[in-house]
Homo-oligomer: A and B are copies of this chain.
Amino acid sequence: MFQDFILVGDRPISIQVKEYVKRLIIKGALQADQKLPSTREMSGLLKVGRNTVISAYEGLEDDGFTYTISGKGCYVASKVNHLALDNGGASWQIDWKERMNEYAISAVELDLMKQGIRAPKGTISFTSIAPDEQLFDLSDVRRAFMDRMAIEGQVLLNYGYAKGYKPLIDYLMHYMENKGVDISGKDMLITSGFTEGFDMVLSALRPSTRRGAAICENPTHHTALKNLKLQGFEITGIPMDRDGIHVERLENILQTNSFDVAYLMPSYHNPTGIVMSPEKRISVMKLMMRYQIPVIEDGFNEELRYSGAHVAPLIATAGQGNGVIYIGSFSKVLFPGLRVGWVLGDRTLIDSLESIKRSRTIHTSTIDQSILYQYLLNGNFDKYIKKARTEYKRKYELTKACCEKHIPEAQLSGDGGLHVFLTFPSDVNTHQLLEACTEQGVIFTPGDRFFIQKGEGINTLRLGFSRVTDENIEQGIQIIGKQVREFLKS
């Protein structure tokens, strides 16, 4: 015994010894009331210092795995070789598949990550629209954390509030005011990113006695579609025009149908990349006001605007009206690893969402919130976004130029952001195109997953360029273009 002890480099040795002995006890290799080797013997057996063994033995006793008889030594505690069910419980097999309800089954079915496009290493991937981590200013993040910990470390590590970290809420309220939002009568809830905010809003507004009805742009963000479906909403989609949602179509539908909620993404719309024009924003909002439809505005990437004048979010155009729920996040522009988003809306609504938030996760990580707050306060965001805009703008223009040169068959949309959207003649099936391109070492996201009805958008695709090198952008798009022509020939 004690021959198979192997030291791992990066952990305190006494803990490794403690856990090693614990395992022997758990496995039954050491029996109840059996005497452990003396600390001196064990030190020789494991080839570690005697003080290390002494400390490990203390830990074993603290954890209730051993007891000491004064002057005699250390013994295995009797209850550790714990009781177990007959035949080791093996007969207790629940068929979990059968126990899952519709919600759980749908969550799996609608989980695109589980049907993800897997590709070998070295593949040029246009599937991501996450930020380029090479741009991250790690030293500023480290400093933000250290600054905040120095100010109130103990507070940060104990319970926070469901509503969010107060300094961050104050900061973001001011931030939204600077985008022209009238914050009177409004309040804010901090969430674990956009997705949590969206899911909670839907779960609060979903009618209790019938399926909900939602209206949105078509195509739209596939995660939003997933959440709408999981919350039981029927979804009506309105096609996109060059400058945003098709207003006449929207009006026609609104005249005859009623909706519980509208979901809109006015800036760098995912997947088309279109920024809704200021005039169209007003037209859309007038319709929503006339038909009294609550609007969930997805603030997606509006910080990434890198050309033209400031465009106010929808919630700003509503002024003192309380019909818009704005959900923001810095995930895509800043650090997705920091799970922080916010919901800004009517005070009554936020009050309910706060209780839902508390019932689901107590509160969002205070560490994440406080790092973000201090990072913003230190002025790092302004510096970072300047750098990021410049870099993404350059990549956007390169991507656009490459598409125009190598894939002239496709119509490109996208005013910036982190992706462009391509629409091919209707006989190009982008799933088949993807298959051909994968073989050539290039992958992208087929566009149909952003459409509401199965079979729509089968001739579209999204190219995310944020994490692709210049060289690969050029090369990858050239390969796609070549495959498109192969495809059209056949």
A interface residue numbers (CB < 8 A to B):
10-12, 14-15, 18-19, 22-23, 26, 59, 62-65, 67, 77-80, 82-86, 88-94, 96-97, 99-105, 107-108, 110-111, 113-114, 130-131, 133-134, 136, 138, 141-142, 145-146, 149, 153-160, 162, 174, 177-180, 182, 192-193, 195-196, 199, 203-208, 223, 226-227, 230, 260, 278-279, 281-282, 285-286, 288-289, 292, 294, 305, 308-312, 316-323, 335-339, 346, 348-349, 351-356, 358-368, 371, 377-379, 382, 385-386, 389
Q: Are B22 and A359 in contact (CB under 8 A)?
A: no
| A25 to B276 CA separation, bound complex (whole angstroms) | 22
Q: Are A365 and B379 in contact (CB under 8 A)?
A: no
* A203 cross-chain contacts in B, Cβ below 8 A: 103-104
**Beyond A195-B360, A208-B101, A208-B102, is A93–B322 a contact (Cβ under 8 Å)?**
yes
**A193 interface neighbour in B349, B354, B362, Cβ under 8 Å:** B362
Min distance, Cβ A54 to any Cβ of chain B, angstroms: 14
Instruction: Enumerate 22 A-B pairs (CB-CB under 8 Å) in ascending A order.
Output: A77-B310, A79-B310, A80-B312, A84-B282, A85-B286, A85-B321, A89-B285, A89-B317, A89-B319, A90-B321, A96-B346, A104-B352, A105-B352, A107-B356, A108-B352, A111-B354, A133-B155, A136-B158, A159-B337, A223-B359, A365-B367, A368-B368
Q: Are B130 and A157 in contact (CB under 8 A)?
A: no
Min distance, Cβ A176 to any Cβ of chain B, angstroms: 11
* A279 cross-chain contacts in B, Cβ below 8 A: 83
Q: Which residue in chain B gives the minimum CB-CB distance to A205?
A: B99
| A180 to B83 CA separation, bound complex (whole angstroms) | 10
Min distance, Cβ A343 to any Cβ of chain B, angstroms: 13
**Beyond A178-B22, A359-B227, is A309–B78 a contact (Cβ under 8 Å)?**
yes
